[in-house]
Structure 1
Amino acid sequence: MAKQLIILTIITTLLPLLCNSFNPLNPNTNPKILVLLDDFLIKSSHSIFFNSLQSRGFKLDFKLADDNQITLQRYGNYLYDGLILFSPSIKQFGGSLNLAGVLEFVDSGRDLIIAADSTASDLIRDIATECGVEFDEDAEAMVIDHTSYAVSDVEGDHTLIASDGFIQSDVILGSKKIEAPVLFKGIGHTLNPANSLVVKVLSASPSAYSANPRTELPNPPSVTGSAISLVSVVQARNNARIAISGSLDLFSNRYFRSGVQKAGSSNKHGKSGNEQFVTELSKWVFHEKGHLKAVNVRHHKVGDGTEPAMYRIKDDLEYFIEIYEWTGKSWEPYVANDVQVQFYMMSPYVLKNLLTDQKGLYFTSFKVPDVYGVFQFKVEYQRLGYTSLSLSKQIPVRPFRHNEYERFLPAAFPYYGASFSTMAGFFVFTFVYLYNK
């Protein structure tokens, strides 16, 4: 009995440590992703996408979205680093998972991919709304485009769109240009104008609109043109990343392998851009690129290598910081010319661009302002597609001590002259007054 209690105690102690090893902010660990499906057939119909993730070191745990065994955390620790919702029609998750649970998962700094379609349930729509996007209110609406549709042998309703409205961002979609359009069939969404964190990655063309393709339009569509987003991403303030697609077929093997020709274009591509687009997007969502870290933040007086407890006004100081980017396999030096440091107290007294040695080290030097108080070194770095860096280090600044001032200040020479001339004049006046007959 005592032996069993000892074993139980060891397991209870180690389990939280094992759970903590799944940390999305440490890309060196082997991340684990929970994939929730409407049907296990999706596992085979979208196998190219899943195999791509597994080949990059991700461990996928497939479950039906209504499985009663679903749980994201145990003993207060999350079991997964990412969540993929390929279950657009699910009305209620199984197990302990619900809308609040998904949002808490993202709030913990973990990543999420949502794929919807024309069968999207209120649950999936609510999750998307909380992430900053609004799907079309019409449950049967789809994105229709009569000028940018994909050419096929059968004239359809133009809901199969060939879109090339990509975001211009190498860090999100890679430096290699996506030559072929992306095939999309599904529902569109709009971005919440009050949410500055959500960004379109794949936009509809100006001729697109959202409507029910099986009925005539009684009124002009409410959502039209480039206001429609087909795929959007969110990077939260805690650096959690979310991708929201209005099409589940976008990730399918059939669309990956299909040829594509955009209406009005003579270029016929043997393979769509879906696989390249989705692969690069998933790399970004799961922090395989665009993930920055700052290390070795330090500062000291010029000529002195030790960090002081405080500075004196007008001291000359140097500031250093190292920034690296995760490339999916290793940390590489991050090179940019727009990293800045602020010497801050209520407002920035000093704002300096940091120089770089092109090997990850950023540095600068400046003179402490002639103001004493409690200052901060602040680095706030926010760029599209990159995790944000927010660093601050507090340091007090004191005035000169009484014995540190110069004996004679050049600026006070007129006052010195006035004082001595007054004393000399008084001496002369006294001498004349006393000895003049």
Structure 2
Amino acid sequence: MGICIVLFSSLSQSRSSYIFRILNSTGAAERMTKLSALVAAVSLLPILCFSFSPENPTDRRVLVLLDDLSLKSSHSIFFNSLKSRGFDLDFKLADDPKLSLQRYGQYLYDALILFTPSTDRFGGSLDLAGVLDFVDSGHDLILAADASASDLIRNIATECGVDFDEDSSAMVIDHKSYAVTETEGDHTLIVSDDYIQSDVILGSTKVESPILYKGIAHSLNAANSLVLKVLSASPSAYSANPSSKLSNPPLLIGSAISLVSVVQARNNARIMITGSLDMFSNRLLRSGVQKAGDSNKYSKSGNEQFVTELSKWVFHERGHLKAVNLRHHKVGETDEPAIYRINDNLEFSVQIYEWSGKSWGPYVANDVQVQFYMMSPYVLKTLFTDQKGLYHTSFKVPDVYGVFQFKVEYQRLGYTSLSLSKQIPVRPFKHNEYERFITTAFPYYGASFITMAGFFIFSIFYLYNK
């Protein structure tokens, strides 16, 4: 980008004198030639700027909406961890009258953090549809609620496949897995270590300390196959109003209660939803923890590690894949043909890389497959890898002609999905390409000659025999 600035600066400084010299040049043809060259050079500058920009899938511009600006200090540890990883955080109140996610059709931010549980209506031009369009366009979202969750926040969560408890006064209560504190309390500060076992989502370093949670419960929409439970409540937990006696059995109980859930949409947008805004607070991130009935006491909860590692996944610092250089050619050749013939032997290859948060590195797996597809897959092959990002295989073109596709459809828990396809026609043999004599047709050849010989012998016998 610095090169672009220098180029534009030097152009602006000298353009007046240069254009003046062009206009005073002798000959109309010379003037038109030089002006055309100048226009072409200027038009190439955006392309040059783009070519010098490194490819980076990580969200960098993040809009943080708050109910109260005091959350900047009470949740500063979480925000500072994002800033230390290179994110540009823009803090705004949820009712800011100038609030907008896009300008002139272009989004101003790469990700959105909603720490606005009690907001009934966003300010400016932002509304429920705007948040959903933001996600539908491939951007990421972190949503945190609490006992004061408004209908707006609940509706956003519902559209993402998560249903908060309908009882607005209910909280997660656990009389067995609660955190031991100086005051007995109502057992709404619970302890959970039932989190998903996935290195790509929560990192390879295991969360050693239990996680403190104080908030509301939610369940996953069974019709949504994209939502995933990351942190669950214990079997003894339930969702109810802690200040009143239960008159009816609670609707959400046990492990059906999800504390933190994530969604990876089909466009690879990532969403994190939790019913606890306190889970991100400095108080719980730095607090010691001891589970009721457990003698082990931890000097620090696992909240900081948990929310940090999970935010890395949400913001595509981990688990982001890209595929490049999809190639195919006949065995023994290097050029990609425009058409294949049935029964040709071909080689297929593709390179897959994973983003580490700072650079691209080879992605290594043994479950990447390619389909040779026409209406249905005629060939399905598992690709071999050289451990350096290259996946390859070879196979024979089926004895069916038509328009085929090489298809790589890769979906793995926690990773961005890959969907690649490349079309190629397949033709039958030409008339002069068939074998002169087909081995399997020898019985028919023999029958023909035997028939001719028998007719000849019969004719001789009939004509000359008295």
Q: Give TM-score scaled by structure 1 length.
A: 0.94
Amino acid at match of 1:261: Q
Superimposed CA distance per residue, residues 110-141 of structure 1 (whole angstroms, 9 cap, x where no aligned partner): 00000000011000000000000000011110
Per-residue deviation, 1:433: 2.3
- 1:33 aligns with 62
CA contact (8 A) 1:380 1:389 kept: yes
Superimposed CA distance per residue, residues 376-423 of structure 1 (whole angstroms, 9 cap, x where no aligned partner): 111111111000001111111111111111000000000000001111
Superimposed CA distance per residue, residues 210-248 of structure 1 (whole angstroms, 9 cap, x where no aligned partner): 000001111110110000000000000000000001000
Helix, strand or coil: the match of 1:103?
helix
What are the within-5 Å matches in structure 2 for residues 368-379 of structure 1? 368-379=397-408
CA contact (8 A) 1:88 1:117 kept: yes
Distance 2:322 2:123 in 1: 37
Helix, strand or coil: the match of 2:351?
strand
Distance 2:59 2:162 in 1: 31
Distance 2:69 2:58 in 1: 28
CA contact (8 A) 2:145 2:215 kept: yes
Instruction: Give the number of the structure whose residues are more often helix, by fraction.
Output: 2
Distance 1:77 1:181 in 2: 42
- 2:295 aligns with 266
CA contact (8 A) 2:227 2:262 kept: yes
Distance 1:194 1:27 in 2: 33
Distance 1:111 1:29 in 2: 10
Per-residue deviation, 1:256: 0.8
CA contact (8 A) 2:99 2:125 kept: yes
Aligned positions, number: 421
Helix, strand or coil: the match of 1:403?
helix
What are the within-5 Å matches in structure 2 for residues 68-107 of structure 1? 68-107=97-136
Amino acid at match of 2:304: E
- 2:417 aligns with 388
Residues 186/26 of structure 1: CA separation in 2 closer, same or farther (3 Å cut): farther
- 1:352 aligns with 381
Per-residue deviation, 1:434: 2.4
Distance 2:368 2:175 in 1: 45
- 1:212 aligns with 241
CA RMSD of aligned residues (A): 1.9
Amino acid at match of 2:228: V
Per-residue deviation, 1:430: 1.8
Q: 2:434 aligns with which of 386, 391, 405?
A: 405
Superimposed CA distance per residue, residues 301-329 of structure 1 (whole angstroms, 9 cap, x where no aligned partner): 10011111111111101100100000000
- 1:430 aligns with 459
CA contact (8 A) 1:232 1:243 kept: yes
Distance 2:58 2:346 in 1: 38
Per-residue deviation, 1:30: 6.8
What are the within-5 Å matches in structure 2 for residues 7-86 of structure 1? 27=56, 31-86=60-115
Residues 28/108 of structure 1: CA separation in 2 closer, same or farther (3 Å cut): closer
Distance 1:208 1:284 in 2: 28
Amino acid at match of 1:435: Y
Task: In structure 2, list runs of 5 or more residues that go unmatched.
Answer: 1-11, 16-41
CA contact (8 A) 1:30 1:59 kept: no
Distance 1:281 1:220 in 2: 33
Distance 2:292 2:430 in 1: 78
Task: In structure 1, list runs of 5 or more residues that go unmatched.
Answer: 7-12
Per-residue deviation, 1:29: 6.7
Runs of 4+ in structure 1 deviating by more than 3 angstroms, as ranges, are: none
- Is 1:340 the equivalent of 2:340? no
- 1:10 aligns with none
Superimposed CA distance per residue, residues 282-304 of structure 1 (whole angstroms, 9 cap, x where no aligned partner): 00000000000000000011001
- 2:30 aligns with none
Distance 2:391 2:227 in 1: 30
- 2:230 aligns with 201
Amino acid at match of 1:85: L
What are the within-5 Å matches in structure 2 for residues 138-149 of structure 1? 138-149=167-178
CA contact (8 A) 1:232 1:244 kept: yes
- Is 1:282 the equivalent of 2:311? yes
Amino acid at match of 1:280: E
CA contact (8 A) 1:30 1:57 kept: no
- 1:234 aligns with 263
- Is 1:248 the equivalent of 2:277? yes
Q: Give TM-score scaled by structure 2 length.
A: 0.88
CA contact (8 A) 1:260 1:272 kept: yes
CA contact (8 A) 1:372 1:397 kept: yes
Distance 2:172 2:448 in 1: 87
Q: Percentage identity across aligned positions? A: 77
Distance 2:104 2:150 in 1: 31
- 1:137 aligns with 166
Residues 362/255 of structure 1: CA separation in 2 closer, same or farther (3 Å cut): same
- 1:299 aligns with 328
Residues 154/133 of structure 1: CA separation in 2 closer, same or farther (3 Å cut): same
Per-residue deviation, 1:267: 1.1
Amino acid at match of 1:370: D
Distance 2:59 2:455 in 1: 88
Amino acid at match of 2:245: E
- Is 1:192 the equivalent of 2:221? yes
Amino acid at match of 1:359: K
Larger CA Rg, structure 1 vs 2: 2
Distance 1:51 1:194 in 2: 37
Helix, strand or coil: the match of 1:407?
coil
Distance 2:292 2:341 in 1: 69
Amino acid at match of 1:284: W
CA contact (8 A) 1:143 1:211 kept: yes
- Is 1:168 the equivalent of 2:215? no
Superimposed CA distance per residue, residues 140-163 of structure 1 (whole angstroms, 9 cap, x where no aligned partner): 100000111011111010000111
CA contact (8 A) 1:27 1:288 kept: no
